Amino acid sequence: MLGRGRISIPVIVTGIVFSMLPDADIIGFQFGIEYGDSWGHRGATHSLTFAAVIAMLTTAILRPDRYMIAGLYLFLAMASHGLLDMLTNGGLGAALFWPISDARIFAPITPIAVSPIGVADFISARGLTVLYSEITWIWTPLLFLVGTVYLVSRGSAKWRQQSGTEK
């Protein structure tokens, strides 16, 4: 059956966008939302709840064949962003457990180096440097992860196809 056993291209692409989407929260700085606010940078959009809700809504809209796998994939794509931000040594941590807790959390170890950032940095040229550093340290591994999931799911689909047609 076509499209069975793999995550479809639209879902893959959505996952890639989702792995970056939480950082769209920096737009809030333009509207006077503070870094430390619930909806500030690394706030609600970086939480597990937000990732779960968005993944469910998107799955309901896209209606993929294997919706459980697609939904899980979309959730992981977005949730992994907040988890990776917890490993950085700059700025505030991620509000992983919003709305239960607004606390900004870091992992016990923070091996990913980012330049310390302040609100003003985002509206200056340095904001671009910060974003560049996040692109390098967060988004590159995420793209790699998403790409791997895609290749593995494609490979297993092919394998299933082949073993299905064998006599």
**Interface residue with Zn ion, options 58, 85, 95, 130 (CB under 5 A):** 85
- Of 164, 151, 161, 145, the closest CA to residue 16 belongs to 145
CA distance 100 to 11: 29
- Least Å from the CB of residue 5 to Zn ion: 32
What would the x/- binding string for Zn ion be over residues 105 to 144, using CB under 5 A?
Answer: ----------------------------------------
What lies within 8 Å, CB to CB, of 128 at 6+ separation is none
Q: In this structure, how many other beta carbons lie within 10 angstroms of the beta carbon of residue 104?
A: 21
Considering beta carbons, is residue 85 or 121 the nearer one to Zn ion?
85
Q: Is 25 in the site for Zn ion (CB under 5 A)?
A: no
Question: Cβ 82 to Zn ion, closest distance in Å?
Answer: 7
Cα gap 31→15, rounded to integer Å: 27
**Cα–Cα distance measured from residue 75 to residue 19, given in angstroms and rounded to the nearest whole number:** 9
23 belongs to the binding site for Zn ion (CB under 5 A) = yes
- Could you tell me the smallest distance in angstroms from the CB atom of residue 164 to Zn ion? 42
Which CB, 7 or 112, lies closer to Zn ion? 112
Least distance from Zn ion to the Cβ atom of residue 74, Å: 17
Give Cα separations from 78 to 47, 49, 127, 129, 144 (angstroms). 9, 10, 22, 23, 14
Q: Residue 27: CB partners within 8 Å, gap ≥ 6?
A: none
Stretch that binds Zn ion, among 57-65, 85-93, 125-133, 151-159 (CB under 5 A): 85-93
Question: Residue 22 or 71: which CB sits closer to Zn ion?
Answer: 22
- Number of residues near Zn ion (by CB under 5 A): 3
> Using CB under 5 A as the criterion, which residues of the chain lie in contact with Zn ion when the complex forms?
22-23, 85
